[in-house]
Each structure stands twice: as C-alpha cells, then as structure tokens.
Structure 1
Amino acid sequence: MTTTAPTPATGATAEEFGERLFTAVLGTQLVQAAYLGDRLGFYRALAGEALTAAELAVRTGTAERYAREWLEHQAVCGVLTVDDDAAPADARRFRLPAGHAEVLTDVLSPNHVLPLARMAAGIGRHVDELAGAYRTGGGVSWADFGADARESQAAANRPLFLGALPRDYLPSVPDIDAVLRRGGRVADVGCGFGWSAIGLALAHPDVTVDGFDPDGPSIEAARRNAAEAGVGDRVRFRTTDAALAEGGYDLVAAFECIHDMPDPVSVLAAMRTMAGADGVVLVVDERVAEHFTAPGDEVEQLMYGWSITCCLPDGLAHPGSVGTGTVMRPDTLRGYARAAGFAGVDVLPIEDGFFRFYRLR
C-alpha cells in the first residue's frame, strides 16, 4: 500500500474535490459489489473457471438476472474479464484473473484485502445507529455490529497471525524468541477468533497459549478454529476479562485490541500481573503517525475511517469508557502504561505497514 497524502483541502478547486468524491463513490460501489460477491459465493465459484450468468446462478443458488448484472458490473469495473464481450448476454463467459482471485479468495494470502471491503460494507448497514450515537454521545457495540465486523476483522488479520507474526516478527525479539524456544506459557489478551494464538502454537510446537476475550461468539469460533488446526490440546480459550486470569505467564500479548478497550489501563495492569517480574508484555496496535498531521497518508486515513465508524463507537458503548478510538498514538499508550504501573514502553524494531510493536517494561 502506498502512503501518499491527498492535496490539502485549501488547495483543491470545487471541480477537483468533486472529482475526488465522485471517484470515492465508484469505490464505494465496488466495495458493495465485493461484499455481495463474497457473501453469495460468486468469487469462490469463479476462481479457476469461466462461467456464464446461468452457470454462476446455479452454482451459488442465486437468481440469474441478478448474477448477470453483477457479472457485467464487475467486468465493466475491470475485476472480471469476458471471453467475448460481443457474444449474446446469456452466452458471455466471465473469468476471475489469478491475481484478482488471490485478493478475493485466498484467505491466507497477505494480499487478501476482501475482508476490509466486507467490514466497510457491513458497518454501513448500521449508519442510523451510528448517527444516533453521534447525537447522544453513546455508542454502537461490537455485539451490535454483529457477524460482518466480527468475521471480517478476524479474516483480515488471519494471514499475518498465521504467517509473519509467529514465524518472523516475534522470533526477532530475543526475549520473546527465548520464550517460544523453551515452550513457555503465553497469554493472548483480546484473542478474537484465536488466529494469533493458533499461529503461535503452529509455529512453535512446545508453547501453550491461553486466549481471553469477552465476546462469546468469538471464543466459540476460536475453539472451533483451534480444533480444526489440530492445536486444541495446547490452545485454550476463555470468555473472561483478562483481569480475572491467573499469573505465571512468560509472554502476555495483546494484538490489535488495546485501542478498542473502554478501560485499557486496568487491562494493562492485569497483563502486568499475569507476566509477573520475569514475563514479557507485548502490545501490537495500529501504526498511526506519532502526531496529528493533516492531510495524513493512506494508513492514517484508513485508521481514522475505522475509528469514526467502528472502534470509537464500540468503545463509547461502555459506561466510563476512555474512548481511545483506532488512532492510538504511541504517547497515548505510554500514558496508559504508566498509569498501569509500567516503567516504560519501547517501540520494537519490527517493520510492518500497519502495526507497531511495543514492549512494556
């Protein structure tokens, strides 16, 4: 992903900004179509085989007329190719190019961006609730956002959590590598669907991992995922607040979740207790800019976009929330860590386009 910033608003003419917004509308329509293609199984059916509208409809249990319009839209937008665009409508065969198929159907590829489209479109279904929260200062909880947010968040992180995170990133930190090599006890706070815990267990066969998350459906999914991955004997999941967990862990980690928590200080304090005097405490969160600057690059825009539609409303759905939002800058985390009793926070030299790695001392 590039990290270019847009032209400042003061430097754009009405025509230029109108063109930018029009382009965004086209992108929104593409995201909505991708959401439908994912939910209805269109992309999976097209992967590796050219189909007519009638064939696609039969394979996915959908109406042919809708399937044809969706196929034509995707071809017009350059997502699909057509064997013969001059053929009669019912004879046109549509193909999904291999590169596009990786982005849309390969759930383990680092290029699998489709879950972000699902999340954006799924959150859009709650725009009335969001508008109400903006007016009252209330929130829209993770439970209210439902399966679209829950499943797309897990799917978006799955390639990293099963790939570079356990294999490359964490072993590059000597203290963490030592824990993984000797088969230490790991606590995964805010584990979601469990992919981070499962990834650690798969990459390091001697470790045991306990995952904690307050969301019941996520814990149920995590248990299924661990069983299917064959690590259910070493990876356990519990629907509980991390503050209720026992100590004695060699590594206590929170992967992309501290910014969502209504009371991050108490969670960090619990993590400190869980790690004791000798354990490592790791926080992985969004790689936002260190200071607010406008306009921001594309990562900054993306994180603010998630914050105004999902993370901040979820945080503010809980009484007494600090309302962090997605854009948790390093100094904000340092403040939370000091309040939780930590001596300091080190930014680890792990380069990732979206995440920053913190060691809490």
Structure 2
Amino acid sequence: MAIDNDRLNTFLSRAVGDLGAAISATLMLVGDRLGLYRALAVSPATPADLAQRTHTHERYIREWLANQAAGGYVTYDAESGRYSLDDAQALCLASPDSPVDLAGAYYIVEAAFHALERTTENFRSGQGMEWGEHHACLFHGTERFFRAGYHAHLLTEWLPALDGVVDKLTHGALVADVGCGHGASTVLMARAFPHSQFVGYDYHADSIRTANERAQASGVRNARFEVADAVSYGEEGLDLVTFFDCLHDMGDPIGAARHAHDALKPDGHCLLVEPFAGDHVQDNLNAVGRVYYGASSQICVPVSLARHGPALGAQAGQARLHQVMAEGGFRRFRRAAQTPFNLVLEARP
C-alpha cells in the first residue's frame, strides 16, 4: 500500500500532540492542587523560586515547568531561566472565576479514568452509569468548568436576553433551578436578586448537601436546596425554571420539560443552557465538539441510559432540544444567546 507521507506526517504530528496532552493531564491536576499556577501568576520564577513559594520539591518542579512550557501552558525565558504565565494563560489556569476555568475541567478527565473499566463494559453491554456512581472529582470538576461560564455570562448576558425576566427577578420572583448540582448557578442568581426566592433541585443527595453548605457559607438566605428529580419536585406557580447543562443527561427529558411547563405560571420562562452544538455531526467536528463528544460518551450518555432514557448526549443540538421542549408543552422556543461553549435557549408556555 502506497503511503502519502505528507498525510502521514500531518496525522502523526496531531497524534503526538494529543499524546503529549494526554500524558500531561495529570500534571495539570498537580499544578492546580499544589497551587503552582496561582503562584506562578504572581510573578515569574525559576524552578527553585516556585518550589520555595509552594513548599514543593525543586526537582519535580523543574520537570513540571518544562512539560508545561513545551505545551505552551507556561512561558519560558531562556536568558533568565524563569518561567511565567502571560495574561491569557493566567486567566485560564490561575483564576477559578475567569470565563474559562481550564484547570478545573481536568477533574472531569480524572473522573473518566476512574470510570474506565465501567465505561469499557458499558460499550459492550449498552448499560449505563448513574451520576452518583462516578468519583467525586466529577462533581467538583463539572461545577468548576461550568461555574466559570455562569460567572462570566449569566447575570450580564443570559438572563437579560430573556424577555422581561430581569425585571421579574428584581421585584421578586419564584425560581426553580433543576439539576442544580453544587448550586453554583442558584447561589449566583440568589445573591444578585435578593427579593426573589430560589429552589435548587437535584436527585444526587451529596450534591444537594454541598449546595446547602455553599449557600450557607456565602450568606445567601433566599435559596434552599432539596433532593428531587426533574419530574417530581413540588414547587408550583414558578416565574422561571432553569436547566443548566443537565437536560441532555436526563432519563426523561421530555417529562422534565413537561413538569417544568406545568409548574410555570402562564407567563413564565424556562431557561435552557446546553453545551454548544450544531444539529449535525459534521457541524461539531471541531475542538469544542471533540471535548463534548468525549465527555458525552463517558458521562452524559451513560447517565441517561442508566435510567432507560433517550441519551440525547452533550451534542444534541438546538433542533433536537426544540423537539423535546415542544413535546413537553412549550409553544415558543428561541436561541436567546450563545458562547463558544453553550447554547442559551428560551422556552415559554
């Protein structure tokens, strides 16, 4: 078989880059856990400087810094022997409240490796894996990765894009945040709108316990959290129901949409935030799609299949989500906003 050397070299270059990224994933976690990125963001450092600042061993730090510089995650100045983070690197790696908490996302990668044997068996059997069966690093990583986007966009762009919602929240509204996880989105909204009342629901009891702790620690008094799934919570007369990056995971997304529709006031709103995706596979064959298909095949699809659901997947796309919400009773549906990582959709009765 004749080999096209140009295509071979192009593929190998990409594959070696991916291999470097894969072997460096745990080192990203080391950098985050030991505060190496945060310390380096303060000022440039030699390996010895950084080891001293972070109470770590210089020999390991020397190798870590070289790995990070080879990948472009830190900057190396050969003349001074110092490493540093430029503004973009620091924003993504050393600031959990930035628009992209890249380091936090690697805890999701860690969770995928914890579940590897189960994932392999699921591919053979077609069985699923419940959210709560994953290692706890998944819950931490999911919160961090998506929380960054919420902090950057929710109050300033997404809620204002919904017709009349900010005015309702300002004067006092009743809101259900369904699939709230650790409550990052719930607490953020509650702090911004003290005259409104917020209820966070999640079927994962450990996440609800964490959400209550976070709300208490932040001093929020207008938010509470309860264990309930998306088709059984009891709140009615709601002004706003939110689903943040969770509907595609659910065992009964149409039932969740129908329950939200029935719980809303006639003039209520449903905010649906989902991973960014086009409606066709070819639309998603890009860097963001690769990340989401990876997470979807190992986390999102198994969660839905564990409950005999349709397994929408993280790349469901707007058309499929519109169909789900329409079958749930919503008559009006539109894209209100978007980011490189999220579709922001509004549904109304």
The TM-score range, normalised by the shorter chain, is 0.7 to 0.9
Q: Give the stretch that moved more between structures: 158-167 or 99-108.
A: 158-167
Q: Residue 40 of structure 2 corresponds to which residue in structure 1?
A: 46
Normalised by the length of structure 2, the TM-score is: 0.88
Percent identical: 29
Distance in structure 1 (CA, Å) of the matches to 2:346 and 2:161: 13
Counterpart of 2:258 in structure 1 is 269
Contact 1:190 1:214 in 2 (8 A): yes
Confirm or deny that 1:358 pairs with 2:342.
no
Asked if 1:110 is matched to 2:99, the reply is yes
Q: For residue 334 of structure 2, what is the aligned residue in structure 1? A: 347
Q: How do 1:195-210 and structure 2 match up within 5 A?
A: 195-210=184-199
Which residue in 2 is equivalent to 1:139? Answer: 128
Count of residue correspondences: 343
- The CA RMSD over aligned residues, in Å, is 2.6
Question: 1:280 — aligned with what?
Answer: 269
The answer (yes or no) to whether the contact 1:307–1:326 under 8 Å persists in 2 is: yes
Q: CA deviation at 1:212?
A: 0.4
- Structure 1 residues 123, 61: closer, same or farther in 2, change over 3 A? farther
Structure-2 change in CA distance of 1:279 and 1:71 (3 Å): same
| 1:166-217 residue CA offsets vs partner (Å, 9 max, x unmatched) | 2322123223233213211111001111111122122223211100011122
CA distance in 2, matches of 1:292, 1:79: 30
What is the rounded CA distance, in whole Å, between the counterparts of 1:303 and 1:358 in structure 2? Answer: 22
Check 1:295–1:261 CA distance in 2 against 1; reply closer, same or farther (3 A cut).
Answer: closer
Residue 234 (str. 1) matches residue 230 (str. 2): no
Instruction: Tell whether the 8 Å contact from 1:200 to 1:207 is kept in structure 2 after alignment.
Output: no
Paired with 2:332 and 2:268, the residues of 1 have a C-alpha distance of: 15
C-alpha distance in 1, partners of 2:182/2:159? 20
| Partner Cα separation in structure 2 for residue 199 and residue 182 of structure 1 | 17
Deviations 1:269-310 (A, max 9, x none): 221222143322222212210223267233332321221222
In structure 1, what residue type is equivalent to 2:133? D
**What is the rounded CA distance, in whole Å, between the counterparts of 1:15 and 1:78 in structure 2?**
21
| Contact 1:167 1:203 (C-alpha < 8 Å) held by counterparts | no
Identify the structure with the greater strand proportion: 2
More moved, 222-231 vs 246-255:
222-231
Residue 97 of structure 1 is aligned with which of 64, 86, 91?
A: 86
The alpha carbon displacement at 1:110 in A equals: 0.8
- Unpaired runs of 5+ residues, structure 1, are 1-9, 87-91
State the 1:55 CA deviation. 5.4
Structure 1 partner of 2:19:
25
Which residue of structure 2 lines up, in the alignment, with residue 320 of structure 1?
Answer: 308
**Counterpart Cα distance in 1 of 2:129 and 2:203:** 16
User: Can you list the C-alpha shifts for 1:20-41, whole angstroms capped at 9, x where unaligned?
Assistant: 2122112223333212211233
* 1:155 and 2:141 matched: no
Counterpart residue identity of residue 21, structure 1? A
Q: State the SS of the aligned residue for 1:250.
A: strand
TM-score normalised by L of structure 1: 0.85
**1:290-305 alignment, distance < 5 Å:** 290-293=279-282, 296-305=285-294
Give, in whole Å, the separation in 1 of the partners of 2:114 and 2:79. 34
